[in-house]
């Protein structure tokens, strides 16, 4: 006799979720526990930077925690943390399989879903595939042939019904979670290999009031900014496993609600929260130096800031709503408070010319940005930029493996695709090399000596060795990226010769 039908879910993140209510009601209904396996696929081999990213997506964690609280037996497999592909035995044991994918990992997700069907079929077991997540939400037609159901949008409020097979239509539209305080505290023990994690992600808000043309956040989570209370966030912080030294606040704008942020920071200091933490912020926060100082006192070690460009025209074209003066001030304010700055820049906007590469790297060195992340403008599905480029016939292809911010996938306006690709690589080379690392080492020694003297009279912070280490590590990562992407560079070279 065949087992009951199997269900596969592909959840999400690029900001992820899938469903929530009825937390503890299922176990009381007396059904046999179904085995649910959530999987976060690895990125394409051409993106060697994914090997540095061991931070799990929060979607599978929320959904897995909800499923567990509703009587399901849950396991989360993260291929980046496992450093391997999921195996056939792991797939065949799943009564319900859930895959969490962003655009750059959706192809791998499709492969896993197909493999799952094949493995279960050989065991004479039926399968059912349910696909969700930001890529499926933005471009459901791309995954329609791979799933019996496509879940569009946040799904915490419907995950239990999805897993129980309550929906009949292929396309399932969910609603945003209005009260984020009702989200469960993630159970990290559900992740196989969770004890190897050294950074824990924490989400305290969703939505963004801004309107950047390249960003899919507003399309997925809306413009309405929703946040958790300071107490709810702190309750989650104190549940973080003791062996994990660092917290990363994944909010796109951690300090958007300054009052809530200050309340949280004061609570962390009052209760003696000792873990170091990092957060993503916008340049507006530097207009509030008192809050920045409080961030440092509460344990902030690094901020990730989307500077995006030092070309004023590009900032306007992106609808970024910030100036070069804002960027410069932000670096100064954070460095004055001994908080490292990770600057994120996006190259290839329509106003950019080939001069943008040298001017950007010079700016980073001049201002003393500690670490940088250069990306290429990428038209992700669902964004205004994607719609514009499709209309203008400017996409080179839709091989989603390369929609990772590190590959040119469109026709630039003021340079060739090859020039843009080579320019990004050169920016990385100019920043991440041993000379800069040595300079950082000398500066760190000097600052450490100064801090030691200051500490005799008042509190002083010792400088971080992280920027120096990242420059050393980054040089090898860049070299590896070049080696693994020679075929793509040849492809772009071929396109340039045709032009």
Give me the helix-helix angle, 258-270 and 230-237, nearest 10°: 40
Check whether 156 has a pLDDT greater than 70. Answer: yes
CB atoms within 10 A of CB 176: 17
CB atoms within 10 A of CB 3: 11
- Please give the average per-residue pLDDT across 232-241, as a whole number: 96
Same domain, 406 and 358: yes
Report the distance separating Cα 429 and Cα 471, nearest Å. Answer: 10
pLDDT in tens, 33-61: 899 999 999 987 666 556 555 789 999 99
Report the distance separating Cα 8 and Cα 488, nearest Å. Answer: 33
| Ranges 18-27, 174-183, 198-207, 369-378: which has the least confidence | 18-27
**Burial group, residue 80, by CB count within 10 angstroms (0-12, 13-18, 19+):** buried
CATH number for the domain that contains residue 123: 3.40.50
DSSP state of 67: H
Check whether 224 has a pLDDT greater than 70. Answer: yes
Report the distance separating Cα 325 and Cα 307, nearest Å. Answer: 11
Q: Which of 191-200, 208-217, 227-236, 450-459 reaches the highest mean pLDDT?
A: 227-236
- Any domain includes 415: yes
If one counts the domains in the chain, the total is: 2
What was the pLDDT predicted at 472?
67
**Regarding beta strands 96-101 and 205-206, do their DSSP bridges make them parallel or antiparallel, or are they unpaired?**
unpaired
- Any domain includes 475: no
Same domain, 91 and 157: yes
Domain limits for position 152: 7-173
Check whether 20 has a pLDDT greater than 60. Answer: no
What was the pLDDT predicted at 90?
96
- Any domain includes 129: yes
Same domain, 301 and 210: yes
Check whether 382 has a pLDDT greater than 90. Answer: yes
Same domain, 232 and 283: yes
Mean of the per-residue pLDDT values of the chain: 86
Same domain, 63 and 131: yes
What are the beta bridge partners of residue 249? 202, 279
Find out whether 17 and 177 touch, Cβ atoms under 8 Å: yes
Provide the token pair at 122. Answer: 């050989």
Q: 286-314: buried (b, 16+ CB within 10 Å) or exposed (e) per residue?
A: bebeebbebbbebbbbbbbbbbbbbbeeb
- Any domain includes 402: yes
Same domain, 298 and 353: yes
What was the pLDDT predicted at 99?
86
Same domain, 387 and 319: yes
pLDDT in tens, 316-340: 999 999 999 999 999 999 999 999 9
- Any domain includes 2: no
Report the distance separating Cα 136 and Cα 138, nearest Å. Answer: 5
What was the pLDDT predicted at 471?
64
Find out whether 3 and 128 touch, Cβ atoms under 8 Å: no
Per-residue confidence band for 100, with pLDDT thresholds at 50, 70 and 90:
confident
Per-residue confidence band for 147, with pLDDT thresholds at 50, 70 and 90:
confident
Same domain, 244 and 335: yes
Check whether 29 has a pLDDT greater than 60. Answer: no
Same domain, 245 and 105: no
Report the distance separating Cα 37 and Cα 55, nearest Å. Answer: 18
| Ranges 185-189, 281-285, 305-309, 467-471: which has the least confidence | 467-471
Euclidean distance between the first and the last CA atom of the chain, given in angstroms as a whole number: 62
> Among residues 374, 478, 385, 381, which one has the least CA distance to residue 420?
374
pLDDT in tens, 452-470: 445 444 554 545 556 666 6
- What is the 3-state secondary structure of 106-124? HHHHHHHHHHHHHHHHHCC
Same domain, 49 and 157: yes
Report the distance separating Cα 104 and Cα 107, nearest Å. Answer: 7
Per-residue confidence band for 27, with pLDDT thresholds at 50, 70 and 90:
very low
Better pLDDT: 462 or 349:
349
- Any domain includes 494: no
User: How large a percentage of the chain has pLDDT more than 90?
Assistant: 71
Global pTM exceeds 0.85: yes
What was the pLDDT predicted at 338?
92
CATH number for the domain that contains residue 255: 3.20.20.70
What was the pLDDT predicted at 129?
85
Q: Which of 430, 453, 470 is the last residue of a domain?
A: 430
What was the pLDDT predicted at 312?
97
Same domain, 274 and 381: yes
Better pLDDT: 448 or 286:
286
Report the distance separating Cα 96 and Cα 66, nearest Å. Answer: 14
Report the distance separating Cα 483 and Cα 259, nearest Å. Answer: 48
Residues 6+ apart with CB under 8 A from 89: none
Same domain, 209 and 155: no
Report the distance separating Cα 133 and Cα 219, nearest Å. Answer: 12
- Any domain includes 15: yes
Better pLDDT: 21 or 390:
390
- Any domain includes 493: no
DSSP state of 246: E
What was the pLDDT predicted at 2?
40
**Residue found by looking up tokens 């924490």 in the block:** 202
């Amino acid at each position: 006799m065949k087992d009951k039908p199997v269900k596969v879910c592909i959840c999400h993140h690029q900001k992820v979720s899938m469903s929530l209510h009825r937390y503890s009601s299922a176990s009381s209904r007396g059904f046999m526990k179904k085995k649910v396996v959530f999987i976060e696929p690895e990125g394409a081999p051409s993106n060697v930077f994914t090997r540095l990213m061991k931070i799990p997506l929060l979607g599978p964690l929320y959904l897995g925690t909800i499923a567990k609280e509703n009587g399901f037996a849950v396991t989360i497999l993260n291929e980046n943390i496992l450093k391997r592909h999921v195996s056939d035995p792991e797939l065949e044991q799943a009564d319900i399989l859930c895959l969490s994918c962003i655009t750059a990992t959706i192809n791998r997700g499709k492969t896993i879903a197909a493999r799952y069907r094949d493995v279960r079929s050989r065991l004479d077991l039926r399968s059912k595939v349910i696909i969700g997540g930001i890529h499926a939400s933005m471009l459901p037609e791309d995954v329609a042939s791979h799933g019996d159901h496509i879940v569009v949008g946040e799904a915490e409020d419907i995950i239990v019904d999805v897993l129980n097979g309550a929906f009949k239509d292929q396309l399932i539209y969910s609603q945003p979670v209005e009260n984020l305080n009702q989200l469960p505290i993630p159970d990290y023990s559900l992740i196989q290999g969770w004890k190897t994690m050294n950074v824990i992600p924490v989400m305290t808000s969703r939505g963004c009031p801004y309107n950047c043309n390249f960003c899919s956040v507003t399309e997925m989570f809306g413009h309405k900014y929703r946040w958790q209370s300071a107490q709810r966030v702190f309750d989650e912080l104190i549940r973080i496993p003791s062996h994990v030294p660092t917290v990363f606040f994944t909010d796109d704008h951690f300090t958007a609600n300054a009052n809530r942020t200050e309340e949280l920071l004061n609570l962390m200091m009052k209760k003696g929260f000792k873990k170091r933490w990092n957060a993503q912020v916008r340049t507006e926060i530097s207009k509030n130096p008192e809050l920045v100082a409080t961030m440092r006192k509460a344990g902030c070690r690094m901020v990730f800031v989307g500077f995006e460009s030092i070309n004023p025209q590009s900032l306007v074209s992106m609808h970024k709503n910030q100036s070069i003066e804002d960027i410069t001030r932000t670096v100064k304010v954070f460095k004055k408070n001994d908080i490292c700055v990770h600057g994120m820049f996006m190259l290839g906007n329509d106003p950019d010319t080939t001069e943008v590469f040298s001017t950007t790297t010079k700016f980073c060195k001049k201002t003393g940005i500690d670490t940088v992340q250069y990306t290429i403008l990428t038209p992700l599905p669902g964004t205004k930029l994607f719609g514009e480029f499709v209309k203008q016939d400017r996409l080179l292809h839709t091989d989603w493996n390369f929609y990772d911010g590190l590959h040119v996938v469109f026709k630039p306006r003021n340079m060739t695709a090859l020039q843009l690709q080579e320019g990004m690589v050169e920016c990385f080379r100019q920043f991440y090399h041993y000379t800069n690392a040595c300079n950082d080492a000398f500066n760190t020694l000097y600052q450490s000596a100064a801090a030691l003297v200051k500490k005799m009279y008042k509190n002083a912070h010792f400088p971080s060795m992280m920027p120096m280490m990242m420059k050393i590590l980054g040089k090898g990562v860049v070299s590896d990226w070049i080696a693994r992407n020679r075929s793509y560079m040849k492809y772009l070279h071929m396109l340039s010769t045709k032009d």
